[in-house]
Structure 1
Amino acid sequence: MTSIDSRELPADPASTDRLAAQSLTYRVVDTADRAQSERFQRAMSRGFLGAEPSDEAIAFGRPAFEARRNTGVYEASAPNAQPVATIDSWVTPLTTAGGGEIPMWAISGVTVSATHRRRGIARALLEGELRAAASAGVPIAGLTVSEATIYGRYGFGSALPMSRFTVDTRRAGWAGTAGDGRLEYVDRETLATELGAIHERARSSRAGQIPGWATRWTGIAGLSPSDTDRDKVRGIRFLDGAGAVRGAMAFTVSERGGSFRFGLDVRLLVAETQDATAALWRFALQHDLVDEVTADLRPLDDSLPWLVHDPRGVKQTVHDHGWLRILDLPTVLRSRDYSAPLDVVLRVSDPLGFAAGDWRLQIGNDGTATVAAVEGGASEVDAALDISALSILFAGGVRAAALHGAGRIAAAAPIVESLDRAFVSFPSPALDIWY
């Protein structure tokens, strides 16, 4: 993988100069300075419209905060006040199609104070992160977003759509078979441990996944002091016939309208086997007094609709979740396995210039790729697309035909079909956590 530590990189000079022209200071936070760090954490909570964090909540989030490169924007006249904008980043493995990995610059915590909107601060933050990543040799960047209309302009593409399920349990019923294994309740500390361990073992099976971190799992398990539902969180795990833990689920149950009927919300379901997945779904759908089950961040090829008697009792809503942005095109396209041979010249536009140009992509019968720049421009270009569309296509979960139909890829129909056959990834790519 990589030993790159994002915390060692200075603030991007171009963004520093751009913001200085507005009397704003752009700097990487010294995490050893507790006062400065706490101001940053409080500003981030404010930026996401969260409650004022308690001292306990600040302490809970400190390990993740200190593991990242935290960059703030400050009024030059008040350098020791809370930042008016925040962003954080770290380098993490991204699973690619075929089970390989590539270093990814993960971006999170993007906030701009309501007092400082429309001043180009978000642009300086995002472009600064991308330049920092590229200068460090990280070939791709990624983020999850609260707003879906912002990030395309920086070359990100909505590459990892996910499903949200809403199940009417009385209508849906259950049609799955019972596998060999058993379920048991676990305490929240054990739940956090099991979620993290199973997720880490399973994440190489789907493109798009990244590792979690300790406070991600403890937060999902209901151990975060700022979680208003923490006392409702329960957890179960699935053990196979040999007694090995193969799946776990964190969930809450809430009464609906004083009716003594309940809704069960799945916070996270992780599983290594189909038996584990089915057993955890069965637990949720057949839970006593539960009329509705909801679960978000499920893969598009989840088996749930096929495990019930009446699939019309399962509502599946597809939405954007994981966004990717290619920086080093040859490295990224060579990092995955492909599903069919291909030989095309791609003309790629990139508003920030990282990956612009004409590129010949050749994929052999063994699914491996070679990528070369076409010097001087190609006389024959098979497909033209921007870096956002290529970043979407790379993950393998969105059809080239859909992008072509939306005007995102310019190519003849046979080329589009060839791109579809080559780039499709099995199983469907997924990202089941926020970061």
Structure 2
Amino acid sequence: MRDADRPSGSPDQTADGSSLPALRFGDVDPTDSEALTRWLRARVRGFHEAEIETDADLERFASSRDRTLRAVFDDSEEHSEIPVGTLSAWETAVRLPGALGSASRPVAARAISAVSVAPTHRRRGIARSLITRELRDARDQGLYLAVLTATESAIYGRFGFGPATRGADYALDTRRARWMAGAPAGRVRLVPREELRSVAPEIDAEAHAQVAGEILRWPNFYDRMLGLTPDRRGAAASLRAVRYDDESGRPRGYALYRVGASATDPREKDASVIELVAATPDAYAALWRFLADLDLVARVQVRLRDVDEPIAWMVEDPAAVTKSNERELLWARVLDVPEALTARGWAAADALTLHVHDPLGIAEGSFRLSTDAEGRAEVARLDRPGGEAADAGLRLGIAELGALLLGGARAETLARARRVLFDHREAPARLDRMIGGERPPRLSSVF
């Protein structure tokens, strides 16, 4: 992008407008191994990770070769070839809620990751300029949603991202877990990890269609998850795989786990579950039962699960299950309000006006949202020339709309927090009924 195209707040100015040494934007060619290595060195530096020194280190970031790599360079630096800011992006599919009782809907979105700034260049607007440019570029390409997962959750609200899904970690004390759920008709089988590679994507697709929030898993995701890449093979020696087949022999779920010394008591062993995917209730119950019955294992630890995971209802003593580290996972940023609202399904027929504020000016406006009994929506922009006057309704920020879009937040809750304002007291509850939400959205993999 030319200097003349830089938006206000570009990284060669501080917040008070004073000048800084010129910083240069550019894209890095991921097929250029030397340029990619320099970009990755900047990325790991920004996240305080281990240095890139070997080909195996590079393999950790093999997915970068399939992404757009943005960079900011400081030509006044001694090693000016190494970026002082990084961002990666790619087009993915995010599952939005379907109409009541139907499958979730995959829609195209811009995924953003690896946003980093060199410690020597903090507070110069580099991250802001990288993210703002990426959002505008995605909008100009016709995408109406951007998503990310955050290591620092306080940062991204200012760019219009709202927390769209939440997740939690769980631990099951196997010594207290007397099983109450009935025995499924299918069978759990130990399988080689390589064999799971061919069926895991199909099981994922079936399971993910049942809930909003999941994103399309990227190239090489499964090879790395299963420990099939060169950099993962050593650590994967302790990784075990099981598959659940239903009574007809069809694979409907799988789990990956390893058993090791407990972090809390070295005399005991814990099973750490890397992945547990179930396309049916029977698969879910059978996989959890298998893990709970592992010999010599005192606890089963699972990460990135639903906030209302049913496992606590499947054992006699609910205290055998502890939930911890509940947190935001997927952050969503609406880039086109009418397109985003019509892309999802709705649970009730009604009509409301939404007055949306966008601090970046990308998607600001007043919109009349009308839904029908079949779960379809029509959205009319009210503040365009020739449009009808905007009437009373709900006033909210673009970040709050992102939080509501997948059904992970309630308008009533945001209204009590003064994050959604209203002219009529019943308006937030009406929007909640329109959104519905039989099951909270979830994301099972960070990026």
With the length of structure 1 as denominator, give the TM-score of the two structures: 0.92
Residue 11 of structure 2 corresponds to residue 19 of structure 1? yes
Distance apart, 1:430 and its partner CA: 1.1
Query: Map of 1:23-422 to 2, 5 A cutoff?
Result: 23-61=22-60, 63-77=62-76, 81-98=81-98, 99-224=104-229, 229-256=235-262, 259-317=266-324, 318-375=326-383, 378=389, 380-411=391-422, 412-422=424-434
Task: Letter of the 2:86 partner, please give it.
Answer: T
- Displacement of 1:191: 3.5
Per the alignment, do residues 375 and 206 of structure 1 end up closer, same or farther by CA in structure 2, a change over 3 Å counting?
A: same
Summarize the Cα distance change of 1:389–1:86 in structure 2 as closer, same or farther, 3 Å threshold.
same
Give, as a single letter, the amino acid of the residue that structure 1 aligns with 2:343: S
Q: Which residue in the other structure is 2:443 paired with? A: 431
**One-letter code aligned to 2:154:** T
- Residue of structure 1 in register with 2:18 after alignment: none
Contact 1:246 1:276 in 2 (8 A): yes
DSSP-derived class of the 1:108 partner: strand
Tell me how far apart the structure 2 counterparts of residues 23 and 334 of structure 1 sit (CA, whole Å): 43
Which residue type is aligned with residue 270 of structure 1? V
* Residue aligned with 1:337, SS: coil
Mean Cα displacement is larger for which, 278-287 or 133-142? 278-287
In 1: Cα distance, 2:157 partner to 2:395 partner: 17
> After superposition, what is the alpha-carbon deviation per residue over 1:270-328, rounded to whole angstroms, capped at 9, x for unaligned?
12111111111111222112111221211234321211111122122331100000000
Question: Is the CA contact (8 Å cut-off) linking 1:384 and 1:410 kept in structure 2?
Answer: yes
For 1:429 and 1:296, locate their aligned partners in 2 and report how far apart those are by CA, in whole Å.
16
**Equivalent-residue separation in structure 1 for 2:9 and 2:125 (angstroms):** 12
Structure 1's consecutive aligned runs of 4 or more residues displaced over 6 angstroms after TM superposition are 9-12
Which amino acid letter does the alignment assign opposite residue 47 of structure 1?
A: G
SS in 2 for 1:270: strand
Mean CA deviation greater in 277-286 or 344-353 = 277-286
Aligned to 1:5: none
State the SS of the aligned residue for 1:413. Answer: coil
SS for the counterpart of 2:175 is helix
Whichever residue aligns with residue 65 of structure 1, its letter is S
The verdict on how the C-alpha distance between 1:68 and 1:12 changes in structure 2, with shifts beyond 3 A counting, is farther
| C-alpha contact (below 8 Å) 2:166/2:330 kept by paired residues | yes
Gaps of at least 5 residues in structure 1 are 1-8
Give the C-alpha shift of residue 13 in structure 1.
3.7
Q: 1:81 to 1:244 in 2, by over 3 A?
A: same
Question: CA 1:15/1:64 → structure 2, altered by over 3 Å: closer, same or farther?
Answer: farther
Using the TM superposition, name which of 192-201 and 157-166 deviates more: 192-201
- 200-209 or 136-145, which deviates more: 200-209
| C-alpha separation in 1, matches of 2:51 and 2:91 | 29
Q: Could you tell which deviates more after superposition, 186-195 or 403-412? A: 186-195
**Where in structure 2 are there 5+ consecutive unaligned residues?**
14-20, 99-103
Task: Tell whether the 8 Å contact from 1:12 to 1:132 is kept in structure 2 after alignment.
Answer: no
Determine if contact 1:355/1:387 at 8 Å carries over to the other structure. yes
In structure 2, what residue type is equivalent to 1:26?
F
In structure 2, distance between residues paired with 1:33 and 1:16: 31
Mapped partners of 1:50, 1:226: distance in 2: 16
**Deviation, structure 1 residue 224:** 4.9
The farther-off stretch of 137-146 and 269-278 is 269-278
Superposed CA offset, 1:314-346 (max 9, x none): 122331100000000000000111111121111
- Report the CA distance shift for 1:234/1:10 in structure 2 as closer, same or farther (over 3 A): farther
What's the counterpart of residue 101 of structure 2? none
Going from structure 1 to structure 2, the CA distance change for 1:114 and 1:300 (only over 3 Å counts) comes to: same
Q: Give the Cα separation in 1 of the matches to 2:194 and 2:122.
A: 41
One-letter identity of the residue aligned with 1:53:
I
Query: Residues 346 and 77 (structure 1 numbering): CA distance in 2 closer, same or farther, change over 3 Å?
Result: same
CA distance in 2, matches of 1:371, 1:239: 44
CA contact (8 A) 2:165 2:440 kept: no
Is the partner of 2:438 in helix, strand or coil?
coil
Q: Secondary structure at the match of 2:209?
A: helix
Give the Å deviation of 1:222. Answer: 2.9
Choose between structure 1 and 2: higher helix proportion: 1
Whole-Å separation in 1 of the counterparts to 2:41 and 2:203 = 32
| Pairs aligned (count) | 427
SS at match of 1:236: strand
